[in-house]
Each structure stands twice: as structure tokens, then as C-alpha cells.
Amino acid sequence: MLSTLEHQIHSLLELDPPRTKSLCVTLLGDAIGPHGGSIWLSDLIELVQPLGINERLLRTSVFRLVAQDWLQSERHGRRSLYRLSELGQELTTAASERIYFGTPADWNGEWTLVVLPRFGNSSLDGRSELRRELIWAGFGAIAPGIFALPRNQTGRAQKVLNKFKVADKALILGAHELNESKGLVINDLIAQCWDLDNVAQQYQNFCTTFEPMRDAIDQQTRPDQAFAVRALTIHEWRRIVLHDPQLPQQILPPSWPGHAARELCGQLYWKVFDLAEQHLNKVIQQDPTHYQPLKPYVYARFGRTERAAAPTAR
């Protein structure tokens, strides 16, 4: 008979199976990266099989990630070793800030604007890929060719513009709102610039799914179950938070569900963390050359500053 936690894991995998390629990126960034960032393909296959991913799907996804320069591979005889490429590491590091740390509480009202001017009859704003990338990075379209995001987001804007090789054709400006409630204020544009209703619903769904899972974890939880919970939690959290512009609290709707969802995610993450590490060690620690001891920076995730005692596995 399945335990409550096992049933919840199986139900989640049936209702919303993770995409293989995206799950690989999640695992490499969250679990493998802090141990040096390298993993044998055979070990990765063993890790993802309980998450509903078969070997054929995994191999196909890994090959695609290499072709897209997310991963790089090394051949060692008949074995393949994979790690994040330089580009993959850069993208993962940038995403980690949004995943594990969120938005700083303080905000001085500063905005970053990206302006895509018209040149003759052409407009950069007409390039749908560039527009989508800016929106994915959190920017909201406040007017044709003008995108905004709170705080100094120069680095994030430059990365997008450099990716499309248009940095010399766009403006990055800093701005402060000066209307002082005497005219149109940017808060009035929030709903049309960012799809916060959709993001809020995703956060609420996250809490509905993972609160029971948090409550089902107890002294009977096995290391393999804890690893599955950690992987599925971070994978779903990553999907949501990377589409959240993470606006300052001052301009968010009252009772923003993202705050409760982040607190839940952190609670669940640390509740299973040490048991999940036991499973990770069991599967891939046979190769100490490439599997390194856990890096201390991990313990700052979700606002944690020190290591707590590990739960006892049975």
C-alpha cells in the first residue's frame, strides 16, 4: 500500500509530468551544480527514472541540450560525462537569484527602461523574439517599443540585447516616476503590462499542490522520496518564478500569493534537503573525481543562513 507521500508524488507525476529537457536543467542547477556540476549519463538516467522519465527520453533531451549549448559532454571510453556549458552556467546563475532569493524588500522607486527606437520604416519592437525575451526577463511593455522593470536591471537588459545583437540599436535608461499622483501613475498600468492574475493563480496552485506534500513528510520518509519531492518542488517553483516579473511589494496587489508560496517552497525544500542529499550521494558518489562535497553556498538558499540537523532516515 502506498504511503500518503508516495501517493502524492505519483499523482503529481500523472497529472503534470515534467518535461524532460527542463527537468534536466532543474536538476543540474539545483542538485548537481553544488557538487561540482558534472554527472555521468548513467547516473542521470538512474536519478530521473523515478520521476517518470525513461532512458530514451532522457538521451534525446540531453543531446538537444548539448546542441543548444546548454550542456557540454566528454567521452570517457563508452561513458559520457555531462556538465553545464559556460552559457548554461551563466543562465543558471542568473535564474538562481530569482529562484532562491526573490526580490529585495527595499525599493527606491527606480525603474529601468529599454527603448527600441524606430529606424526609418523598421522597428525593433516588431521582432517578436526580442519582445518575448524581454517579457520573459520580467520587463513589461508600457508603450510601443518601451519596456520597463523596477530597480536597476541594466545587466538583465544588456544580456537580452546582446543575445539578439541589437545593443547598439536600443536605449537602456534609468527613470523615476514624477507625476506624484497628479496624473497617470505607473501603478495604473500594472495590470496591462504584466499578467499578474495568471502568475497569482500559479502561486495559488503551487500552494494547493505542495502544502499537503509538506505535511506528509515524516520520520518514515525515505531518501529517494525526499529527492523526488525536492526535484518536483524546485522544478515547479522554477517554472512559475521565472515567469514572475517579481515586482516590488509596494506595487503588488494586496495579499500577493507569491509571498506565501515562496515561504512554503523554502519550508519544503529544507524539510527534505538532507534526506535528498543522502539519495544523491548513494546514486552518484561512486565517482569522487567528479562528484565533489556540497558547496556551502547552498545553505543561503531561501533565506537560510546555517545548516540544521538532518532528519533520520529509516
DSSP-assigned states of every residue in 234-280: HHHHHHHHTT-----GGGSPTT-HHHHHHHHHHHHHHHHHHHHHHHH
Instruction: Tell me the C-alpha distance between 41 and 58, whole Å.
Output: 9
What's the average model confidence in pLDDT over 169-188? Answer: 80
- The pLDDT of residue 303 is 87
**pLDDT above 90: residue 200:** yes
**pLDDT above 60: residue 36:** yes
Cell of 172: 537602456
When pLDDT is cut at 50, 70 and 90, the band that residue 241 belongs to is very high
**Burial profile 96-112: b = 16 or more Cβ within 10 angstroms, e = fewer:** bebbbebbeeeeeeebb
- The pLDDT of residue 117 is 85
What's the average model confidence in pLDDT over 171-194? Answer: 80
- Residue with the bigger pLDDT between 206 and 97: it is 206
- The pLDDT of residue 192 is 86
- Looking at every residue in the chain, the average pLDDT score rounds to 89
When pLDDT is cut at 50, 70 and 90, the band that residue 122 belongs to is low
Instruction: Tell me the C-alpha distance between 109 and 205, whole Å.
Output: 31
Range with lowest mean pLDDT among 64-73, 101-110, 241-250, 286-295: 286-295
- Residue 225 phi, psi (nearest 5): -65, -40
- The pLDDT of residue 187 is 73
Q: How far is CA 128 from CA 107, 131, 134, 145, in A?
A: 31, 5, 10, 11
Q: For the sheet containing 71-76, what is the strand order?
A: 38-40, 79-84, 71-76
pTM here is 0.88
